Structure 1
């Protein structure tokens, strides 16, 4: 659970305005790879190679790390996939878990925090049930 504690610490630091050093120096792809390295449940990642503005990278990292922390801590996920895709001027962060499902944007502070952060950046957050079980957290962020 050391990895989960680190993820939660990094999310809190981001919420307070600080970014993890690896995010600042090496970018989103490297920061997410570093974040998930100690987590056995993360089995598949598609991460960006290209750098984006600091604001885009910080928001995307916040979304991914909070979604991962929720999946491990609350959903009991035994499998998590992370994908970061760029289409035109939109960067999409998708975290899919195979946990218990039932995530609700109206409950808890984690998903509300993600929603507020993404909306403040001009993006859109969608949380839906995964099939056959689990949750998908998908954030679309303007990056053009």
Structure 2
């Protein structure tokens, strides 16, 4: 068996290293919806949030927001308004299946309560339910817009 020449091994090692680096640099990073939400991609911009104090009165009745698509399924919110105030908020659509059932059953009641307390779409996300929370806020804002608030 012949010994390989040291220069040949160095050239092959360099070529392999360069090829590996090129492959790594050509990979595209996975899209991170969490960073999109932080950058304002998933949530409506602050200017679109419902105004506070002295705001236009919300009409009485029931109004359903547009379904907001999330990575795990659609979220849609229905509001009941009485006397110009939100008296009830409920998610009529939420992510289902597998682990989403547990997360949804934990997060949605908290989001419903937060919507009634805040009287706006400016509610905090529920820990562990980032995507559901962002979708809930989008649909909630849509419902408020439809209600005239």
Query: What TM-score results when the alignment is normalised by the length of structure 2?
Result: 0.26
Structure possessing the higher relative contact order (Cα contacts under 8 Å, 6 or more residues apart): 2
Query: What TM-score results when the alignment is normalised by the length of structure 1?
Result: 0.26
Instruction: Please state which structure has a larger fraction of its residues in strand.
Output: 1
Asked which structure has the greater CA Rg, the reply is: 2
